[in-house]
Chain A
Amino acid sequence: MPPRANLRAIALHAALILGAAALAVPIWLAFVAATRASADFVAGDVGWLPGPHGFANFWTVLAAGDSADGLPPAWPMLLTTLVVALLIALGKIAVSLPAAFAVTYFRFPFRSLAFWTIFLTLMLPVEVRIVPTFQVVADLGLLNSWAGLSLPLIASATATFLFRQTFMSVPDELTEAARIDAAGPLRFFFDVLLPLSRTNVAALFVILFIYGWNQYLWPLMVTTEPRFYTIVVGIQRLALAADEGTAVWHYVMATAILALVPPVAVVVGMRKLFVRGLVETEK
């Protein structure tokens, strides 16, 4: 290898290693903290290497809870979060696929108005409209319910756009071939469009699942019952408790690490489809 190319490769790798490290170090520190005892935090001596309390801490956080510190077990919260994230991700996909189908393939009156209305909602994430949305959800009696948790987050301009883009990249000839093959709009949607958009659906699912998983403000507002606590809300409550005296930082960190596992699992599990969905342009 000529020395110049060598240098280039070294520089590239150095940059990649640095970037990866910058992302990994905080996670490593959180993991280390999760394996320590409460006393280590009081002494201010946490260090860089895992301590001996890892299994005990994770077990306490996940399953047993710790009534002395007012710590509930995390697994019900993980389950709640999983349900919410799935509802949001699948709901968004279920709503935006037909919406994109309609604005891409049908000429109906006020089509562009419908299109721009969807476009406008891009500028109104739930954080911006939280007071009126809360009002509506409360009026509908949906506080402390799965519907209240997920519905207001489901309408999705982003997903509609992405699918519209995907559908527009499907060659016209394929649509015409399907018309000649006597496939009506629904058949065409389910037999041709949906299978062709498979990777895009997968990529979007990953992104939306993480979006749903990380929801904080909205679940905090619409739920007061512990059974609807999501894991992020749980972490926040734990952190509050840790701040107020009992130094349960090892539990906070253990919970944080646990909260990381499902989204990472989703990303890793769907990695292949995800990457193909993002980079594939050819149909």
Chain B
Amino acid sequence: MAGVTLRGVKKRYPGGFEAIKGIDLDVPDGDLCVFVGPSGCGKSTLLRIVAGLETASEGTVAIGGRDVGALGPAERDVAMVFQNYALYPHMSVFDNMAYGLRNRGAARPEIEARVAEAAAMLDLSALLARKPRELSGGQRQRVAMGRAIVRKPALFLFDEPLSNLDAKLRARMRVEIRALQRRLGTTAIHVTHDQLEAMTMADTLVVLNAGRVEQVGKPADVYARPANRFVAGFLGSPEMNFLDGEAGPDGRIDFGALGSLSAGAGARAPVSRKVVAGIRPENLAPAEGDGPDRLSLTVDFVEELGAARLVYASREGRRVVVHTAAHGGWAPGAPLALTAAAGDVRLFDPQGGAALG
């Protein structure tokens, strides 16, 4: 078991493209760390650098306090699950799981015991004689997990292992992987571009963008206090509403024709300044009475989700989404007044997007 430490890691691909632009990161022992970010941000590259499948152009990687820069993937004591599972198509499920142990010279009884144990954990015991092509997608996924856990490695590396599954199965496997990792207590790095998967699974969330770390933290903290506009927009679905406004000395944000809202103490500016206000859809609610904190809009359309609904409203081309459990007169074309608590209005610098206050 081991933590992972990255220091000043950079990766330039042949051809000059810099996929990783300098990353420092500490993943504590036993942690489930999730790398999340949009497609092409370098998640896989970073994971493969940790695995030893790719070499860092600069910087150091340590696993369990040991610098692994000079070691190949087999010597790093890591196990990886690939997006397409990369099962050996000609080997049975048993052989797929046993191959790494065999190559490491494990004795036959030990191999059988370990495979049986992993198969029982993953509900694969009845499938050991099958070939991968005779399995469903979810079963293949579990075999790939099995191949990783039989080895009892110091570190699990998961590269989007759930992205080929349908939504229901993905939700179930999310929970199973989470539980399995807890039970084994093995440090794991899980890569995904799915923010929901990232939020639900992570002990530590690492938001990546364009080869850089945007923010590291517990999922709830990162969600509640995004460090910048990118993180704020990336986490949460539907996306946070962003509205251009002007912050005055009284701590109110003026949105022009839409109205105004009061924001937290951090919003108070000695002189008026332009800001971008971010409000999550679930933090917007219909305004009661006629207080000053209100946005006046018109309902465009409503998306019914069953337990809740998304109300899209706009005014003068500026659109907001409200996520609400309330049923009510959301008729398209009807006027709508919305409000939000001061603490739920996050402010960002219009230049650069850093969080203010």
Segment of B70-78, B189-197, B235-243, B320-328 engaged in the interface with chain A: B70-78
- Contacts A171-B84, A176-B82: A182 and B89 contacting too (C-beta < 8 A)? no
- Contacts A195-B90, A283-B89: A180 and B74 contacting too (C-beta < 8 A)? yes
* A interface: dominant SS: helix
Chain A residue at minimal CB-CB distance from B151: A181
| A residues in contact with B99, CB < 8 Å | 178, 181, 183, 191
Q: Mark A153-191, 1 if CB is under 8 A from B, else 0.
A: 000000000000000000101101111111100010001
**B89→A196 contact, CB < 8 A:** yes
Q: Mark A14-49, 1 if CB is under 8 A from B, else 0.
A: 000000000000000000000000000000000000
Chain B residues within 8 Å of chain A by Cβ, number: 21
**A182→B104 contact, CB < 8 A:** yes
Shortest CB-to-CB span from A87 to chain B, Å, is: 28
**B51→A180 contact, CB < 8 A:** yes
**A180→B73 contact, CB < 8 A:** yes
Chain A residue at minimal CB-CB distance from B104: A182
Flag whether B284 is at the interface (Cβ < 8 A): no
**B74→A177 contact, CB < 8 A:** no
Flag whether A192 is at the interface (Cβ < 8 A): yes
Chain A residue at minimal CB-CB distance from B105: A182
Query: Which of B53, B82, B86, B103 is close to A187, meaning CB atoms less than 8 Å apart?
Result: B103
Shortest CB-to-CB span from B118 to chain A, Å, is: 14
**A181→B100 contact, CB < 8 A:** yes
Shortest CB-to-CB span from A107 to chain B, Å, is: 12
- Contacts A171-B84, A173-B84: A179 and B72 contacting too (C-beta < 8 A)? yes
Closest 6 CB pairs of A and B: A181-B100, A173-B86, A182-B74, A182-B103, A177-B86, A195-B90
| Chain A residues at the B interface, C-beta cutoff of 8 Å | 171, 173-174, 176-183, 187, 191-192, 195-196, 198, 283
| Chain B residues at the A interface, C-beta cutoff of 8 Å | 51, 53, 72-74, 78-80, 82-84, 86-90, 99-100, 103-104, 147
17 further A-B pairs in the complex, CB-CB below 8 A; given A177-B80, A180-B51: A173-B82, A173-B83, A176-B80, A177-B88, A179-B53, A180-B53, A180-B74, A180-B79, A180-B100, A181-B99, A181-B103, A182-B103, A183-B74, A183-B99, A192-B90, A195-B90, A196-B90
